[in-house]
Structure 1
Amino acid sequence: MLEIALKHRFAGFTLDLALNAPGGITALFGHSGAGKSTVVNAVSGLLRPDWGRIAVGGDVVLDTEAGINLAPYRRRIGYVFQEARLFPHLDVRANLNYGARFAAPGPGVIRFDRAVEMLGLGALLNRRPGALSGGEAARVALGRALLSKPRMLLMDEPLAALDSARKAEILPYFETLRDEVKLPILYVSHAPAEVARLASSVALLEDGHLRAFGPARDVLADPGAAGGFGGRAAGALISGRVVAQDSDGLARVETAGGAIFLEAPSAPIGAQLGLQIHGADVTLALARPEQVSALNILRVTVLAIGAPDGPSVFVQLALGEERLLARLTTRSVAALGLRAGLECHAMIKAVSLASQDVTQRA
């Protein structure tokens, strides 16, 4: 459990928030200037807030009223920055061992050999940082942080400097970290796809305040919060199981609301998938449409209609026990007479589900 309560004033900006994050990855999401960096700097000890209390696993590292403000090195918090910040004169093995030099006595969250195996670093141990790709350097930086025996990790946009190919390379390692290493992780990101794929919980910040906080599935499907994820990128997360791989390259995935076809040729039969479905890719019809190109036609129920944002609005839909979002024009909402409780059909194009929107779950 990570407990954060902070108040801090800058010129023209005030941070005022409180949250209790469970284990796993808690994503801090928000536009530039929302307060994300202030939060992580306060947690790390690089910033002393005007007022605050921070506890990791019940251990208080900051309590301004009680006069507690542990120095950064005493907080035992691993920090992974946007840049890898590896020592260029040391090889990968020595960079990894550098983190262990500052580790507290006793067992750590992970052994050296397991960190190397989990992060795929075995072939890199004798290389210098200058010979690493961006994705490889990011994995080494993560391994170094883990070997310092932290009680939590801070990750400040660790993939922001990588292109899409390098991100696709490293994201599975981050998922393994989330699933195997039981540490609270505070993960700062500007990328909704990263948040949907990695986060257990999401804290959406706006102007120094929490706009929404809770389990990732709930926040991503909240029509009131969807605008904070940026128009087309906003989308809900649903789960499904691969039941067939058809000869035309499409996988059939059973969800709570029926079958969804998508391009996932590498997913084996029986695999559990997480699917982020963008609201802009969902179209609604009152009657089941016939003779249309969309393969995915699901019966849904309108749960809520968000506040209009210009000419568009997010509509929350029930898909069995799961939730979808549809981003429609306010004109379409009025023309269809959409209201809470109305049953209708959602159409999703198979080709709109890109590979980065599909995650294989353990």
Structure 2
Amino acid sequence: MIDVRVELARNAFRLDVAFAGDGGVTALFGPSGCGKTTVIRLVAGLERPDRGRIVLGDRVLVDTERGVFVPPHRRRIGLVFQDAQLFPHLRVATNLAYGRFFTRPADRAVSRDAVVQVLGIDHLLGRFPATLSGGEKQRVAIGRALLMSPDLLLMDEPLASLDEERKREILPFVERLRDEFAIPILYVSHAVEEVVRLASTVVRLDAGHVAAIGGAAEVLAPTTLAHAGDRFGAVSVLSGKVAALDPAHGVSTIAHAAGSIVVPRLMASVGMTVRVVVHATDVALGRLPDGATSVRTTLAGRIAAITSDVDGPFALVALDLAGGERLYAYLTRLAVDAMQLAVGQSVTALVKAVSIDERGVAGVPRA
């Protein structure tokens, strides 16, 4: 468990946050400049807070009132940054060994063979970093941090510098890392799909303060009508079980109480519970009969709220779906008026399969 309560003032920026993570992946989420990396640096011991307390398990790492400050090298914390920061003159095997070098033999709880197997880097051990792809470098960097046998792993936007193909490659490895090692992770990202896929707890930061803490569905849901340019960040998180895999068409079907959700091909098994990110700008509403549209995902719901932009073109519609989950849809006010939409009305939500990013669809993280 990690418990963080810190304050820090630097020029015009002021950080004042308090949150706790009970295990698994705790994600720090928010826009650039909101304080995510500063929190990571404070937890790692790379900066000192003006006031506050940081506790990891039963160890107090920082307590400004008592004058406690454990130096970085004694915190038993592994770090993975955007840049893998491997030693270019050392082969992969030696880079990995460096992770164990500063850990006492009695504290080496993580097996080298287990790390190599989980991260799929056995075939890379004899190579130099310059010959590796970006995704391969990040896997080696993660392995080096794991081999410290840390009490906490800090991952500061580890996929931000990778292209889309490399992100797609490495996400399953981060997922296996989460599930197969009993090491809590503090994960920084501004990518919704990463957070939903990996995190059991989400801490949303805004301008140096905690805006919300909880599960992905509640923390990432839009609370107000966003400014025009921000509407693309409004999402819903739905959960269901994989009902069918259709390799002939390259799609998978997820069963939901409100209907079926069709998504691009998943690396999942039938019966697996998964979470799906749906962007509010990708949802249309209608009262069409089944089969009247090319859209394969149709979900039954009732309008719970409509928030309109009085001087602008948009409206945010909240739907209570059958089964209890909430789905948000961004529409134009023109569409709302033309369809005469109203609170309490039964409608059908339509979502194109191609609009769902399969990178954000994965098994529900362990708490």
- Flag whether TM exceeds 0.5 (same fold): yes
Task: Report the counterpart of residue 359 of structure 2 in structure 1.
Answer: 356
Tell me, what secondary structure is at the counterpart of 1:127?
coil
The answer to whether residue 283 in structure 2 is matched with residue 282 in structure 1 is yes
Match of 1:254 in 2: 255
- In the TM superposition, what is the alpha-carbon distance from 1:331 to its structure 2 partner? 4.8
| CA distance in 2 between partners of 1:228 and 1:84 (Å) | 36
- Find the aligned partners of 1:307 and 1:74 in 2 and give their Cα distance: 53
Distance change >3 Å, CA 298–CA 194, structure 1 → 2: same
How do 1:307-322 and structure 2 match up within 5 A?
A: 308=309, 311-319=313-321, 320-322=323-325
Greater mean deviation of Cα atoms: 317-326 or 263-272: 263-272
Match of residue 327 from structure 1: 330
Q: In the aligned structure 2, how far is the partner of 1:203 from the partner of 1:16?
A: 13
Which stretch of structure 1 is more off in the superposition, 146-155 or 319-328?
319-328
| Partner Cα separation in structure 2 for residue 307 and residue 219 of structure 1 | 22
- Alignment-mate amino acid for residue 74 of structure 1: R
Say if 2:98 is the partner of 1:98: yes
Distance (whole Å) between structure 1 residues aligned to residue 141 and residue 71 of structure 2? 22
Give the Cα separation in 2 of the matches to 1:204 and 1:240: 24
Shift of 1:150: 0.8
| Native 8 Å contact 2:7 2:52 kept in 1 | yes
Change (3 A) 1:290 1:148: closer
Which whole-Å deviations, capped at 9, do the CAs of 1:3-52 have from their partners, x for residues lacking one?
A: 11111111111111111122111121222211112111111111111111
In the alignment, what sits opposite 2:200?
200
Structure 2 residue 241 is matched with structure 1 residue 238: no
**How far has the Cα of 1:260 moved from its partner?**
2.0
Partner of 2:190: 190
Task: State yes or no: 1:136 paired with 2:136.
Answer: yes
Q: Structure 1 residues 110, 315: closer, same or farther in 2, change over 3 A?
A: farther
SS at match of 2:195: helix
Aligned equivalents of 1:88, 1:229: Cα separation in 2: 41
Contact 1:152 1:183 in 2 (8 A): yes
1:333–1:72 CA distance, 2 compared to 1 (3 A): farther
Q: What is the distance in 1 between the residues matched to 2:226 and 2:362? A: 21
State how far apart, in whole Å, the 1-side matches of 2:45 and 2:342 are. 48
C-alpha distance in 2 between matches for 1:268 and 1:151: 32
Specify the code of the residue in structure 2 equivalent to 1:317.
Answer: L
What amino acid sits opposite 1:177 in the alignment?
A: L
Deviation of the 1:338 alpha carbon: 5.4
- The offset of 1:232, in angstroms, is 1.8
Q: Which amino acid aligns with 1:302?
A: I
In structure 2, the CA distance between the partners of 1:2 and 1:348, relative to structure 1 (3 Å rule), is same
Secondary structure, aligned partner of 2:331: strand
Shift of 1:307: 7.8
Which residue type is aligned with residue 300 of structure 2? Answer: R
Q: Which moved more, 1:265-274 or 1:79-88?
A: 265-274
Contact 1:25 1:184 in 2 (8 A): yes
Question: Following superposition of structure 1 onto structure 2, how do residues 132-171 of structure 1 map, counting pairs within 5 Å?
Answer: 132-171=132-171
Matched with 2:348 is 345
Between 107-116 and 46-55, the greater mean CA deviation after superposition: 107-116
CA contact (8 A) 1:251 1:265 kept: yes
Counterpart amino acid of 1:93?
Answer: A
Q: Is the 8 A contact 2:100 2:108 kept in 1?
A: no
The answer as to whether partners of 1:223 and 1:314 remain within 8 angstroms in 2 is: no
Aligned pairs for 1:22-33 (under 5 A) are 22-33=22-33
Q: Which runs of 5+ in 1 are unaligned?
A: none
The answer to whether the 8 A contact 1:223-1:305 is kept is: no
Q: CA deviation at 1:192?
A: 1.6
Distance 1:305 1:47, change over 3 A: farther
SS in 2 for 1:106: helix
The answer as to 2:10 corresponding to 1:10 is yes
**Superposition deviation, residue 217 in structure 1:** 2.2
- Corresponding residue SS for 1:87: coil
Query: Any conservation in 2 of the 1:168–1:356 contact (CA below 8 Å)?
Result: yes
Map 1:12-161 → 2, pairs under 5 A: 12-161=12-161
CA distance in 1, matches of 2:327, 2:149: 39
Q: Is the 8 A contact 1:204 1:228 kept in 2?
A: no
Q: State the alpha-carbon separation in 2 of the partners of residues 307 and 28 from structure 1.
A: 30
Which residue is equivalent to 2:297?
A: 296
Does the 8 Å contact 2:202/2:213 carry over to 1?
yes
Distance 1:303 1:101, change over 3 A: farther
Report percent identity of matched pairs.
46
Aligned-residue offset at 1:276: 1.2
Secondary structure of the corresponding residue to residue 218 of structure 1: helix
Root-mean-square deviation over aligned CA pairs: 2.7
> Conserved in 2, the CA contact under 8 Å of 1:223 and 1:304?
no
Higher mean alpha-carbon deviation, 166-175 vs 308-317, is at 308-317
1:75-109 CA distance string (max 9 Å, x none) = 11111111111111211111111111112453545
SS of structure 1 residue aligned to 2:176: helix
Task: Output the CA distance in 1 between the equivalents of 2:53 and 2:36.
Answer: 17
AA in 2 matched with 1:154: L
Q: Which amino acid in the other structure matches residue 361 of structure 2? A: V
User: C-alpha distance in 1, partners of 2:250/2:156?
Assistant: 37
Stretch moving more, 137-146 or 248-257: 248-257
